[in-house]
Amino acid sequence: MTRMTARPENVHQAQLLRLLRDDGPRSRAELGDVVRLSRSKLAVEIDRLVELGLVEPAGLAASRGGRRSSIVRLSSRLRVVGIDIGATSIDVAVTNGELEILGHVSMPCNVRQGPDVVLEKALELLGKLRGEGLVEDVHGAGIGVPGPVSFREGMPVVPPIMPGWDRFPVREVISQRLGCPVLVDNDVNIMALGEVHAGLARSVDDFLLVKIGTGVGCGIVVGGAVYRGMSGSAGDIGHIRVDEDGPTCVCGNVGCLEAYFSGAALARDATAAARSGRSAFLAERLEQAGELTAVDVAAAVAAGDTAAVRLVREGGRRVGQVLAGLISFFNPGLVVIAGGVAGLGHMLLAEIRSVVYRRSPPLATGNLPIVLSELEDTAGVIGATRLISDHMFAAT
């Protein structure tokens, strides 16, 4: 549909594009301060980026004592699309080159409907943004899916909750439909990139994003980039054993973190508390709604329900136990907790922190913030645009 966009031709052009993306419009003099190029070579590279249609002039800067330097910015025509496919919803956002959200739409959608239906719905949502005049040409798109992905091949691989998606060529299909570069990754990795770009991890090189949703996963960022491991399964922490005995997990092992604490485990335990008479609050919600979720537990905690408080404390302790080990090992600069269960908020956080600070070495926890994500539902779509933008703005 659209012409393939130009790519930077060398590392200097790539660096300039990323600077303009992350810091916004800059004068040529300011760019000269951070790029290791002679003034004349810098001018050549910037002029070339303008020729390629990636950068455009944006007026004159205030004088720094001499001739006023001209300001440049990323082309205002650049459009990047982020698609975040969750277990039960799709989010689609379109951004400018600086990855600022221009429009964001979402709809409920069960990923179990398979790739044909779900991807068509994602494209419909994008069509809606087109209809609002927010996007014509798409220059790149990033896609997150709720399961393991072969990043190299751009497809899900044996994803447990995505029947029909195994080895479906998501990248190829969407790239052909949109006529632009596309990258696919799992939802936790793109959330981590969202935190790198727009969240609390902006200034941190090495950090962990722990997503506690239906399952539990971890995004690992090393030197500002996602670390995927040998076969792309890095961060798969939901099945780390927290106890020798313990509940049986869907994976067949016993004592997995997810079997102790996750959206699914919480719903199971809350239902048990309601049925056994340990929580009148939860019993009432169960009767009204027919099922319980993390939202009900959060409400019960807010109402001072003892059984709910115990569930959250116990869950936080288990997460903290696993995190303590990972922090000893990885010594991150920041840990961000995200996902639906993170909505349990500060009581969960307090319990996690208490275990980690007690169990990890002081050298690793001395300056370690453990915080809740502040991005709410935008981490995924922003991270998806960041994923493809890093690719678009890399030297060929």
Residues near its own copies (CB under 8 A): 148, 157-158, 205-206, 218, 220, 222, 227-237, 239-241, 243-244, 251, 253, 321-322, 324-326, 328-333, 358-359, 361, 363-364, 366-368
Helices (H), 24-145: 28-34, 39-51, 115-131
CB of 368 to its own copies, least distance (A): 7
H or E stretch covering 354: helix 346-359
Query: What is the signed CA dihedral for 272, 275, 276, 282, rounded to 10 degrees?
Result: 80
CB of 158 to its own copies, least distance (A): 8
CB of 268 to its own copies, least distance (A): 22
Considering the complex, state which of residue 161 and residue 267 has its C-beta at the smaller distance from its own copies.
161
CB of 327 to its own copies, least distance (A): 9
CB of 309 to its own copies, least distance (A): 21
Q: Burial level of 247, CB count in 10 A (0-12/13-18/19+)? A: middle
Q: How far apart are the C-alpha atoms of 69 and 43, rounded to whole Å? A: 11
Considering the complex, state which of residue 237 and residue 282 has its C-beta at the smaller distance from its own copies.
237
CB of 294 to its own copies, least distance (A): 24
CB atoms inside a 10 Å sphere around CB 89: 16
Considering the complex, state which of residue 220 and residue 392 has its C-beta at the smaller distance from its own copies.
220
CB of 33 to its own copies, least distance (A): 20
Q: Nearest-CA neighbor of 175 among 143, 145, 152, 151?
A: 143
Considering the complex, state which of residue 97 and residue 255 has its C-beta at the smaller distance from its own copies.
255
CB of 150 to its own copies, least distance (A): 10
Considering the complex, state which of residue 50 and residue 240 has its C-beta at the smaller distance from its own copies.
240
Q: Nearest-CA neighbor of 337 among 320, 321, 354, 325?
A: 320
Structure-block tokens of residue 389: 């933008």
**CA 350 distance to own-chain centroid:** 23
Considering the complex, state which of residue 123 and residue 240 has its C-beta at the smaller distance from its own copies.
240
Residue 277, φ and ψ in degrees, nearest 5: 85, 5
**Strand pairing category for 89-95 and 80-85:** antiparallel
Question: Per DSSP, what are the bridge partners of residue 140?
Answer: 80
Considering the complex, state which of residue 223 and residue 277 has its C-beta at the smaller distance from its own copies.
223
Considering the complex, state which of residue 223 and residue 290 has its C-beta at the smaller distance from its own copies.
223
Is the Cβ–Cβ distance between 52 and 46 less than 8 Å?
no
Q: Burial level of 326, CB count in 10 A (0-12/13-18/19+)? A: buried
> SS3 of 209, please?
strand
CB atoms inside a 10 Å sphere around CB 276: 11
